[in-house]
Amino acid sequence: MSDKSDPMETMKANLLKNTGKSLAQWAALVKSSGLEKHGDQMKLLKDTHGLGHGYANLICHTAKGTLDAPEDDLLAGQYAGKEALRPVYDALAAYAKSLGKDVDISPKKTSVAFRRSKNFAVVTPASKTRIDLGLNLKGTTPTSRILAEKPGSMCTHKVKVESAADLDAELKAWIKSAYGLA
């Protein structure tokens, strides 16, 4: 058993302590709001109820049932109809894990975050033939292969990955650099 407490359980406890409502109560509020879009739900929680981004995001994912979904179910959903890309994802995830024991692979409904102290990469199956690999590489000059993302995006750059062969020395160097910056 670890000496460290579970950060998710700490966040849930602090939500109750700071707001007087449990995560289940907040999730019920979101469900009863009739709002379907994540952004609309976030706006409700942040603007109307004064919650911070982290709490609001936790509540929205809990209300949608995506927070505690098994990782395999989340990945199966992402790659349904895009099965040919799953080996590409697996190669990216394996490389990210090889960078250090502190790498956390965190599947969500539509993407997978590779985290250290913060996200250093985000994998999104963008089409049936391509994965978009977002990387946080502030200060990196964009090229025809590593594209700049829009300001305010979750990642600073994006690489379009179509096969496991695209995980070459150059891409590995970018991922390793992003990991080092996290």
**pLDDT digit string (tens) for 12-29?**
889 999 999 999 999 999
Average pLDDT of span 129-158: 94
Q: Residue 182: which pLDDT band, with cuts at 50, 70 and 90?
A: low
Distances (CA, A) of 63 to 24, 35, 74, 122: 8, 11, 16, 23
The pLDDT tens digits of the residues spanning 122-142 come to: 999 999 999 999 999 999 999
Query: Which tens digit of pLDDT belongs to each residue from 62-97?
Result: 888 766 666 677 888 899 999 999 999 999 999 999
pLDDT tens for each residue of 93-119: 999 999 999 999 988 888 999 998 889
Close Cβ partners of 103 (under 8 Å, ≥ 6 residues apart): 96, 97, 114, 115, 116, 179
**Domain residue spans in the chain?**
7-64, 72-181
CA distance 177 to 138: 10
pLDDT band of 5, cuts 50, 70, 90 = low
pLDDT at 177 over 50: yes
Q: Which residues pair with 124 in a beta bridge?
A: 132
* Mean pLDDT of all residues in 45-58: 90
Q: Please tell me what DSSP assigns to residue 65.
A: T
Q: What are the counts of helices (DSSP H) followed by strands (DSSP E) for the chain?
A: 7, 6
Which pLDDT band, with edges at 50, 70 and 90, does 6 fall under? low
Kindly report the pTM of this predicted structure.
0.65
In sequence order, which residues have a C-beta less than 8 Å from that of residue 110 and are 6 or more positions away?
78, 124
- If you average pLDDT over every residue of the chain, what do you get? 90
